[in-house]
Structure 1
Amino acid sequence: MASPFLTQDFHVRWSTLDPIHIQADIGQALQAAEAAINRVSEQDRGKMNFDSVVLGLDEATRPLNESWGLVTHLDSLCNSPSLREAHHAMLPQVSSFFAKIPLNDHLWDLLETYSKTQEARDLPPVKKRALDETMESFRQAGADLPPDKKKRLEELESELSQTTQKYSENVLDSTNAWELIITDPARLQGLPQSAIDAARADAAAKGLGTPEEPQYRFTLKAPSMIPVMEYAEDENLRRTVWEGTTNIGRSEKWDNTQLVWKILRLRHEKAQLLGKKDFADLVLQQRMAKNGATALAFIENLHAKIASAFQRETIQLQEYKADHAAQTPDLLQPWEVAFWSERQRKTEYDFDEEELRPYFPLNQVLKGMFDLAEKVFDLRITQRPTIFVPVGQPSTASTRSTQEGPVEVWHPEVKFYEVHNEKNVHIGSFYADWHPRDSKRGGAWMNYLHMGAPPYGERDRRLHLGLICGNMTPPVDGKAALLTHDEVCTVFHEFGHLLHQLCGNVEIPSLNGVSVYWDFVELPSQIMENFCWERESLDLFARHHETGEAIPAKLFKKVIAAKNYRSASDIMRQLSFGKLDLELHIRHATTEGADLDQLSRQIVGDYLMPLKTENPSMARRFGHLFSSPVGYAAGYYSYKWAEVLDADAFTRFQKEGVLNNKVGRDFREKILSKGNSEDPAKLFRDFMGRDPEPMALLVRAGLG
């Protein structure tokens, strides 16, 4: 197919997306976008209106955004040398193009001129917000700068894109480069059978071992690594895996140390160029927190409230280990913390996380989650048949949303779903890709390939096209993939993001879906996690994979009793990430040359459990902060900020009914559908009838 990355097919024809087309296609998309931008900026000032200015600007870059989105999507899920090479070749040009848009004098003059017209002053609230947000984003990107500073800003954006991409690749490559092959089954003592089976299957897939003499392969991907750290009785095995994790982004060939300093320096220079004290103040202007000082105060205030509980939990774990190992209490090694924590939980609550796994087969979890979406939010989710076609092979799959037949996917494991509302209107579709692969980056995420919007003027409804991805426990030997409860919470979390996107019903695409302030974007995702702890909602999907029975009452009581086990430690871990993030961007962005590990310990010392062996800095593998030019940089506090909101908001469900359709519809209509069309604080008040209760998070965690 000619120019496959430029096609506007709703169902993406993945088999045509050969990396050899990327440079030509993206080059063509860049030319088309530049021509479209020029048409917007050169329009007759006497005839300009909201549609030709604000919507015109959005529409000018939409095809490029969608084409480049396919490239970055494949880079995350189907990484290969040829794709990486093509991505690298075009990344500077794409970054430079987007950096130049707000620096275009004619475009900025158009916006300023239009903003002073009577029509602009009389715009209805949503359109007025779209204009204001657009102009503010232009200012933050340098629209008011003199020519020499604009030129430097372009250079900074290009450098940041390339440096953060290299950082991301170092994390992926160093993760994939590590493996541990075990030939002696005795070393696996204590590991759940599910982890042993997965390690054996992984080794066999690599051609290692035989049925008579199996071998066991462990990697640094979460489903492989976590069971080792929590259950393996062989301390040397746990230590080896821990050492492997500490070398992600740190080993010589893939060392991210200097990249971290470079990224911080570039961001700081960008902020100062734009008249801000630091990068936190720059990016938080359009966040609920507004500035770095407010975000840092939020982190530090929460720290102060849970510090004593955190210290108490630390001492209790040290004493527990001492009692059971017949030793005097002492500091733990980092490879001992998860192991002894899991043992302590089992002792105190007679609860082992593995007891829940049989009740969470992935397909049943997904079906139950979709049933919940129908009951609570009036959404109907149906699976479409899919087909995987290798790149370059002919395909007869459907390409249009209204077309029958199978939908192409980028890997045989990927599923495709359609979403309809209560009026049976098709509002969007999404792909789901749940298991780890070497070509796939770690973690879990949601994204979109097409931004949808309701009908507007002569424009028909534009369907959302989203995706959710993760690295969950894979199926073994053809059996069901059985998830941990933590993995179930992650699935629900990403589904919450997806619902936020799919339910977006704002006529202005730039204000729709998840295009909201980043310290608000986690509210819909985190509120969904609450349904993983309620009996009424659990019964929709938590069913034993062999018997179909629900979680027994006795086991459920143990789950709830153990829910807040070491909750202060869990919160403190997240606060440490937020503290490190903000301090690096506010106070240490120019401390280049300092010892990164020593500085990190200095910053978050009071937030970490004291250990015999210090962990190297998380900064070298902290993709949220350093894998893109902005991402969650100076914004990791958002998780806890939004958790205060979700803990409070979910109390409405608890009071009025966990599966109460009225509350669910309220949440959909007042939060999910609104995107960034109104101030997020107002959206929260519209749903709850009041401002957030600051103590809600601590109360839920058993600390308030």
Structure 2
Amino acid sequence: MPDNPFLDPSFQIRWSALTPEFIAPGIETALAEAQAAVEAIATRELAGLTFENTFLALEHATEPLTVAWGRVTHLQSVADTPALREAHNAMLPRVSAFLAGIALNAPLWARLKAFAESPVARAVTGIHRRFMEETVKDFRQAGADLPADQRARLEALQSELAQVTQKYSEQVLDSTNAWQLLVPEADEARLAGLPAHAKAAARRSAEAKGLAGWRFTLHMPSQEPFMTYLEEDALRREMWTAATQVGARDPHDNTGLILRILELRAEKAALLGKPHFADLTLERRMAGSGRRAFDFMHDIQQRAAPAFAQECRELEEFKAQQTGGTVTRLAPWEVIYWAEKLRRARYAFDEEALRPYFPMTGVIAGMFELVSRIFGLRVVERAVGAGVEVWHPEVKYYDLFDHAGRHLGSFFADWYPRESKRGGAWMNYLLTGGPQPDGTRKPHLGLICGNMTPPVPGPTGKAADAKPALLTHREVETVFHEFGHLLHHLLGEVEIKSMNGVNVAWDFVELPSQIMENWTWERESLDLFARHHETGASIPDAIFAKLVAAKNFRSAAATMRQVAFAKMDLLLHMRTAEFVGLKDVEPAVRAAIADCLIPTEPPTPTVVKRFNHIFSDPVGYAAGYYSYKWAEVLDADAFTRFKREGIFSAQVGAEFVANILSRGNSADPAELYRGFMGRDPDLNALLQRCGLAPAA
């Protein structure tokens, strides 16, 4: 076992030992070993090249480094501290430069290309051929054929991109954490309308900071109920203003970073012979080009536009009718509030009425039962301590087995918000196992994280008398979504690790996650886990009927919100020259997507200053936010098989595993999809599900 815990290859990670002082020496050692391994390939005699000593050797060369660095970046996202951030940022440029430089290593590329073009390479078949061909494309797309001076510039670009996108992410987190709203004891009446659970959470938040009253933050479990239910307009305006200023004000202003990131990406695309970053990024995704992705989103916009205009007008008319005022545009801090009132009036449905039926423990248990029935899986929680460590006391650990008792993998689950943890929800992998050369199979290791409504401590502060975490239906969807990503990793049967699980085309990766959300809307599956936390009763028929009836309430507005994000992303990366010369991209970006935004007075700023999806990673979702809608087409269409043949059909589930979940990037995603559905996807399935097209 290595002395440095970041280099320990053991399946059970010693989280308590992963402290900041070990980051630099551990990553330096891993970098040196990876460099030596790459150099060994790059200096091989051309006459003795084989698949094993070129492509397969390269696959293995960087694995210890990527595993070690993955632990560093994971901790930075869930347990951020000044010391950890400093150690991470000190090594980030070197790791980024090394990884980016692999494809720009001329002697290495010469060996790979020589073997790929040799007669013996024609005998390489199956997943090895796919890996060889994909690697050659990776190198060419990354600039391997560029002259030396341009390769050097590309390496510098990649290193700087890693640093400025990391800084962007840090400033979003820091500015989110920097704001609080404290309502003092004497002003309790100002909290009228706020649900009891949100008020109790705000009380606990204040107590944790040694304050009296109720403390609200910009973290979603605090912000969402506040903006949805609080009656006082002035307080909602105060929180809305703070939320729109995340990443937009000193000392956490991302304005300059956005411009620099766009410049660097545009220069990278130009070096690689592409007109813009979107075409570079999407060249090997399902969309194929920025224009096709843009046209796809524009098509959806056109289909949703009439319903969107009607929804906006209805909300203005509803507010006027309720207040006795004239029909005018709403203020942006009023939209969610009045939309919720309209939904209640139209469907007599209060989403808060569902919370008691969604205790986190029940949701998790029901989800595990669901995948047992559909995919033949068994999930078992393992107690922390018996050889298992976690990075925070709230984290759970589970083992996953198939119907034959084979250990497919294990995973960590970290569901509740902390100031040291970034926002949102995500899945990631820590170790990739899968089929081995000797015919055995090693288990995979992964994780899922979220920022869900947390449990409510009891009067004694002990876990035994705490009230359970009660989720919204949207939070339940998120839990299922991230678990779908996790299954994609844990069920992978691809022997080339870099092609396993979620390492697929970005606009295909959301299919396994988004399809899981469908089961949160089906009565049969809800009855597995949606039970009242006190009585054990299932959701009453009347409430379920309202849930379904309200499902597509303002669905055009929800669709247009996604269109706005995707078009903003694509326009920034397709027409970069129009933006980089500006002092601030916000006005121009807003004007470009104004027809996708709810008309308000004053106008709502865009999320460009806090858009982590596209600016907190050198690539990430940049030029790829459209992928959510693209994959929604896939998941809506694919779920029609379950609807037709049975939502618990083990046969359909087995085929989904065989064609999608186990295959990773072992074949073109369109081919994998056709393997499951027998045809190409049908857009109408999504439009019908959203109520934007008549049912078939």
Q: Which of residues 403, 424, 440 in structure 2 aligns to 1:443?
A: 424
Q: Which residue of 2 aligns with 1:212?
A: none
RMSD value over aligned CA atoms?
A: 1.1
Is the contact made by 2:565 and 2:625 (CA closer than 8 Å) also made in structure 1?
yes
Is the contact made by 2:97 and 2:155 (CA closer than 8 Å) also made in structure 1?
yes
* TM-superposed deviation, 1:635: 0.3
Kindly provide the CA deviation profile for residues 411-439 of structure 1, in whole angstroms up to 9, marking residues without a partner as x: 00000011111221111111000000000
Q: Which amino acid aligns with 1:443?
A: G
Q: Give the Cα–Cα distance (whole angstroms) in 1 for the partners of residues 388 and 51 of structure 2.
A: 37
* TM-superposed deviation, 1:53: 1.9
* TM-superposed deviation, 1:406: 4.0
* TM-superposed deviation, 1:462: 2.8
The more displaced of 331-340 and 589-598 is 589-598
Q: Which residue of 2 aligns with 1:585?
A: 573
Q: Which residue of 1 aligns with 2:381?
A: 383
Q: Which residue of 2 aligns with 1:554?
A: 542
Q: Which residue of 2 aligns with 1:52?
A: 53
Q: Which residue of 1 aligns with 2:101?
A: 100
Kindly provide the CA deviation profile for residues 151-205 of structure 1, in whole angstroms up to 9, marking residues without a partner as x: 1001100110000000000000000000111112111100111111111111111
Q: Which residue of 2 aligns with 1:426?
A: 407
Alignment of 1:90-129 (within 5 A): 90-129=91-130
Q: Give the Cα–Cα distance (whole angstroms) in 2 for the partners of residues 547 and 375 of structure 1.
A: 25
* TM-superposed deviation, 1:590: 5.6
Q: Give the Cα–Cα distance (whole angstroms) in 1 for the partners of residues 563 and 170 of structure 2.
A: 26
What is the aligned-residue identity percentage?
55
Q: Which residue of 1 aligns with 2:463?
A: none
Q: Give the Cα–Cα distance (whole angstroms) in 2 for the partners of residues 495 and 95 of structure 1.
A: 29
Alignment of 1:357-372 (within 5 A): 357-372=355-370
Q: Which amino acid aligns with 2:394?
A: E
TM-score with structure 2 setting the length: 0.97
Is the contact made by 1:271 and 1:277 (CA closer than 8 Å) also made in structure 2?
yes
Q: Which amino acid aligns with 2:26?
A: D
Alignment of 1:241-256 (within 5 A): 241-256=239-254
Is the contact made by 1:268 and 1:590 (CA closer than 8 Å) also made in structure 2?
no
Q: Which residue of 2 aligns with 1:413?
A: 394
Q: Give the Cα–Cα distance (whole angstroms) in 1 for the partners of residues 379 and 41 of structure 2.
A: 39
Q: Give the Cα–Cα distance (whole angstroms) in 2 for the partners of residues 68 and 663 of structure 1.
A: 38
Q: Which amino acid aligns with 2:174?
A: D
Q: Give the Cα–Cα distance (whole angstroms) in 2 for the partners of residues 97 and 601 of structure 1.
A: 37
Q: Give the Cα–Cα distance (whole angstroms) in 2 for the partners of residues 351 and 124 of structure 1.
A: 57
Q: Which residue of 2 aligns with 1:37?
A: 38
Q: Give the Cα–Cα distance (whole angstroms) in 1 for the partners of residues 510 and 577 of structure 2.
A: 26
Is the contact made by 2:297 and 2:626 (CA closer than 8 Å) also made in structure 1?
yes
Q: Which residue of 2 aligns with 1:472?
A: 452
Is the contact made by 1:513 and 1:675 (CA closer than 8 Å) also made in structure 2?
yes
Alignment of 1:612-623 (within 5 A): 612-623=601-612
459 and 87 in structure 1: CA distance in 2 versus 1, 3 angstrom threshold:
farther
* TM-superposed deviation, 1:451: 1.7
Q: Which of residues 505, 511, 515 in structure 1 aligns to 2:493?
A: 505
Where 2:144 maps in the other structure, the secondary structure is: coil
Q: Which residue of 1 aligns with 2:27?
A: 26
Q: Which amino acid aligns with 1:93?
A: R
The more displaced of 378-387 and 566-575 is 378-387
Q: Give the Cα–Cα distance (whole angstroms) in 2 for the partners of residues 5 and 685 of structure 1.
A: 41
* TM-superposed deviation, 1:127: 1.7
Q: Which residue of 2 aligns with 1:342?
A: 340
TM-score with structure 1 setting the length: 0.96
Q: Which residue of 2 aligns with 1:257?
A: 255
Q: Which of residues 564, 567, 588 in structure 2 aligns to 1:576?
A: 564
Q: Which residue of 2 aligns with 1:296?
A: 294
Q: Which residue of 2 aligns with 1:398?
A: none
Is the contact made by 2:579 and 2:585 (CA closer than 8 Å) also made in structure 1?
no
* TM-superposed deviation, 1:129: 1.3
Q: Which residue of 2 aligns with 1:462?
A: 442
Q: Which of residues 643, 664, 688 in structure 2 aligns to 1:699?
A: 688
The more displaced of 42-51 and 619-628 is 42-51
Q: Which residue of 2 aligns with 1:640?
A: 629
Q: Which amino acid aligns with 1:656?
A: E
Q: Give the Cα–Cα distance (whole angstroms) in 2 for the partners of residues 511 and 3 of structure 1.
A: 28
Q: Which of residues 308, 313, 316 in structure 2 aligns to 1:315?
A: 313
Is the contact made by 1:283 and 1:634 (CA closer than 8 Å) also made in structure 2?
yes
Q: Give the Cα–Cα distance (whole angstroms) in 1 for the partners of residues 624 and 675 of structure 2.
A: 25
Is the contact made by 1:261 and 1:589 (CA closer than 8 Å) also made in structure 2?
no
Kindly provide the CA deviation profile for residues 328-357 of structure 1, in whole angstroms up to 9, marking residues without a partner as x: 110000100000000000000000110100
The more displaced of 103-112 and 346-355 is 103-112
Is the contact made by 1:436 and 1:472 (CA closer than 8 Å) also made in structure 2?
yes
Q: Give the Cα–Cα distance (whole angstroms) in 1 for the partners of residues 245 and 497 of structure 2.
A: 42
Is the contact made by 1:373 and 1:379 (CA closer than 8 Å) also made in structure 2?
yes
* TM-superposed deviation, 1:320: 0.5
Kindly provide the CA deviation profile for residues 461-486 of structure 1, in whole angstroms up to 9, marking residues without a partner as x: 23211000000001112110000000
Alignment of 1:118-267 (within 5 A): 118-183=119-184, 184-209=187-212, 215-267=213-265
Where 1:525 maps in the other structure, the secondary structure is: helix
Is the contact made by 2:401 and 2:407 (CA closer than 8 Å) also made in structure 1?
yes
* TM-superposed deviation, 1:507: 1.4
Is the contact made by 2:157 and 2:268 (CA closer than 8 Å) also made in structure 1?
yes
Q: Does 1:10 align with 2:11?
A: yes
* Structure 2 alignment gaps of length 5 or more: 458-465
Q: Give the Cα–Cα distance (whole angstroms) in 2 for the partners of residues 645 and 498 of structure 1.
A: 18
41 and 453 in structure 1: CA distance in 2 versus 1, 3 angstrom threshold:
farther
Q: Which amino acid aligns with 1:192?
A: P
Q: Give the Cα–Cα distance (whole angstroms) in 2 for the partners of residues 49 and 426 of structure 1.
A: 33
Where 2:446 maps in the other structure, the secondary structure is: strand
* Structure 1 alignment gaps of length 5 or more: 210-214, 388-404
* TM-superposed deviation, 1:460: 4.1
Q: Which residue of 1 aligns with 2:643?
A: 654
Alignment of 1:655-694 (within 5 A): 655-694=644-683
Q: Give the Cα–Cα distance (whole angstroms) in 1 for the partners of residues 368 and 322 of structure 2.
A: 44
Is the contact made by 2:263 and 2:576 (CA closer than 8 Å) also made in structure 1?
no
Q: Which residue of 2 aligns with 1:326?
A: 324
Kindly provide the CA deviation profile for residues 529-548 of structure 1, in whole angstroms up to 9, marking residues without a partner as x: 00100001111111110011
Q: Give the Cα–Cα distance (whole angstroms) in 2 for the partners of residues 442 and 553 of structure 1.
A: 35
